[in-house]
Structure 1
């Protein structure tokens, strides 16, 4: 037998992603999340659900499909399941991130806590509703000291309409002994610009509420592209 026949076969080179996971984790630990792009942050999430292999292509697909990290984790489960290579474990990880974000922002609006940060209210509303595929109408009920009594999702409608009944809004405020309310709804299109119907509906609620001593502090419209305040726009 020749020497060449005795020689072991050449070793396969390590895959191109060998060591990538630990390098990415180390960069996150040392430099923080702001040092990572959306797809790199998505890779870190996918590592737990997909413990082997290169998840970078899948992470990039998620970001390109939905537009951003936030939009990907808030995407409907049915659409996530349509992404090739994304199994149930990975879908669960993404929805866990979305739930955690919502729980954290909601925790800043504890019942009976005074709403001292308007930015916190907007952040909570955007996190909770800004990425929904259907219109939702939410009400924050406040007492005379602007402490939060309750946060309730009143209606869920279609992609561009939510039925809102002014008398039902005011009735609920009276039941909770609320002195003021903040109205919130989302625009699934992403554009938070108020429509004429939004303005008209807000004024109708204010007209019913005012004689009963209930103030409409604001009507906030949220979307993927930001938010609008009818009060700031001097529309109420």
Structure 2
């Protein structure tokens, strides 16, 4: 069976069904991420990011700003890119972290293709961000890449 034949058998959702799915995702997100609760495990962060980034057509770069107890202060998309690239500027990440008075951050970006191959550019920008944030005592806890699976730089020993 070809891909087009497989996808043509999937019914298109009506606008009403799309609203139901969006509402269900919103409720699931609320259940996974109560305001002020701490991100104490990579698993919780993975679930949160999968909900945020699943199905996006363009690559985005998100920053989760955390307090000293790793409670979420804010999560924002700082950069939006193309199908396979997002330009990340450490200066802008640092400015935003200071604006939110963050003690720590978790960064994440998605790969719309679904692959989670980590490029040298991904590793390089992570190192630059870690150094820039460390100069003002903000900890970079992890960099996660979301595709068909989620890859954690911290779990791989790259931070």
Query: What band does the TM-score fall into relative to the shorter chain?
Result: 0.7 to 0.9
Contact (CA 8 Å) 1:136, 1:162: kept in 2 or not? yes
Moved over 6 A (4+): none
Q: Is 1:189 matched with 2:131?
A: no
Which structure has more RCO (C-alpha within 8 Å, separation ≥ 6)? 2
**Is 1:230 aligned to 2:156, yes or no?**
no
Partner of 1:126: 50
Q: 1:133 to 1:169 in 2, by over 3 A?
A: same
Inter-partner Cα distance in structure 1 for 2:74 and 2:16: 29
Q: Let me know the Cα RMSD of the aligned residues.
A: 2.6
| 1:144 and 2:86 are equivalent in the alignment | no
Scaled by the length of structure 2, what TM-score is found?
0.87
Selected match of 1:212 from 97, 122, 136: 136
- Of the three residues 95, 106, 110, the one matched with 1:171 is 95
Alignment pair present for 1:64 and 2:24: no
| Native 8 Å contact 1:136 1:156 kept in 2 | yes
Unaligned ranges ≥5, structure 2 = none
Gaps of 5+ in 1: 1-60, 73-82
Number of aligned positions between the proteins:
157
**Does the 8 Å CA contact 1:133/1:159 hold for their aligned counterparts?**
yes
Alignment of 1:1-236 (within 5 A): 64-65=6-7, 86=12, 90-94=14-18, 96-223=20-147, 225-236=148-159
Task: For 2:53 and 2:5, locate their aligned partners in 1 and report how far apart those are by CA, in whole Å.
Answer: 20
C-alpha distance in 1, partners of 2:46/2:26? 12
Query: Which structure would you say has the larger Rg?
Result: 1
CA shift, 1:116, in A, is 2.8
TM-score (norm 1): 0.60
